[in-house]
Amino acid sequence: MLELADADVFYGKAQALHGISIACAPNEVLALVGRNGAGKSTTLRAMMGQIPLRQGQRTLDGADITGLSLPDSSRRSIALVPDSRDIIGGLSAEENLLLATLSHPPGHWTIERVYSLFPRLRERRRAQGTSLSGGEQQMLAIGRALLTNPRYLLLDEPTEGLAPVIIEQIVAAIEFVSRSGVAVLLVEQNFRVPRRVAKRFCLLDSGRVVWSGGRDQIDDRLEAMLSGLHEGTHA
C-alpha cells in the first residue's frame, strides 16, 4: 500500500495540498481526477518523493517513507510518468530506454517486453526523441518507467492531447500492466478514460479530496461538477 496521510504541500508560501489522504493498494487502478490546478500533479509528486511534505506522512506497506529521496523512492519501486514526459530529445527511443535500465537492477520488465507492449516503439527505436509524436513519447515515457520495475506506477495525464486511436493503445497498456500486478495511480482531468480502467476514484479540488467512491457511484451530477459546466447551480 502506498499512502499519503494528512499531507500538506507548499510551493513557497502558497499551499497546494491541504490534508490530502490517499491510499493506493497493490493490484488496483486508482484514478485521481480534478480540474486544472486541483493539485493532481502535486499529489503525484508528493507520492513520488519529488516534493517534501510540510505536514503529514507518506508510507509504503506501513513503513514511514516521508523523507525518502526521489532516487530512493524509485529504488523502492515507485515510478512517476510526469505529464511533461521528459524524453531526452538528443537520444534515440531505444537509448532513452537503455538509460532507464542502467539505474536499476534487472527485473521482469525488459526493453523487449516494452516493445511487445508498444510495438510502435520497436518500429521507432532508432528515431531521435525529438522526432517522436506525442503518443510515441507517452509510450516511451511509460516504457522507461516500467524498466525500473515498479510496484506502483504513477501516471500524470497519460492520454492528454492524444488521438483516440493512441488513447486506446495507452488504455490497453494500462490494463495489461495492471493485470501483471502493478498498482496504477492514474491522474486525468475527467472521468472518461479513468472510468474504463479504474474501480476507485478520488476527486480533487483546491488541493483537497472532495469525493471518493466506486465506478458505480459516478453519476452525471458528479461529472457535470467536474466539468464545471453546472458549478454552483446544483441544489
Ligand X SMILES: Nc1ncnc2c1ncn2[C@@H]1O[C@H](COP(=O)(O)OP(=O)(O)OP(=O)(O)O)[C@@H](O)[C@H]1O
Site for Mg ion in 174-213 (CB under 5 A): none
Site for ligand X in 184-213 (CB under 6 A): 189
CA 188 to each of CA 9, 48, 182, 219: distance values in angstroms, whole numbers, following the listed order: 20, 17, 19, 17
For residue 123, the minimal CB distance to ligand X (Å) is 30
Site for ligand X in 9-38 (CB under 6 A): 11, 14, 16, 34, 36-38
Distance CA 30, CA 139 (A): 20
For the beta carbon of residue 57, count every other beta carbon within 10 angstroms.
14
Radius of gyration, CA atoms only, the chain: 18
For residue 40, the minimal CB distance to ligand X (Å) is 3
For residue 159, the minimal CB distance to ligand X (Å) is 13
Distance CA 220, CA 122 (A): 41
Distance CA 188, CA 47 (A): 16
176 binds, among Mg ion, ligand X, none (CB under 5 to 8 A by kind): none
Residue 52 in the binding site for ligand X (CB under 6 A): no
Binding residues for ligand X, total number by CB under 6 A: 12
Binding Mg ion by CB under 5 A: which of 41, 43, 73, 189?
41
For residue 36, the minimal CB distance to ligand X (Å) is 4
Nearer to ligand X, 84 or 131 (CB): 84
Residue 39 in the binding site for ligand X (CB under 6 A): yes
CA 116 to each of CA 10, 66, 112: distance values in angstroms, whole numbers, following the listed order: 40, 36, 6
The values of phi and psi at residue 5, to 5°, are -125, 120
For residue 131, the minimal CB distance to ligand X (Å) is 26
The values of phi and psi at residue 102, to 5°, are -70, -35
The values of phi and psi at residue 156, to 5°, are -100, 105
Residue 42 in the binding site for ligand X (CB under 6 A): yes
For the beta carbon of residue 227, count every other beta carbon within 10 angstroms.
13
For residue 121, the minimal CB distance to ligand X (Å) is 25
* Interface stretch with Mg ion, choices 20-28, 41-49, 199-207, 211-219 (CB under 5 A): 41-49
Distance CA 10, CA 144 (A): 29
- Residues in contact with ligand X by the rule CB under 6 A: 11, 14, 16, 34, 36-42, 189
- Residues in contact with Mg ion by the rule CB under 5 A: 40-41
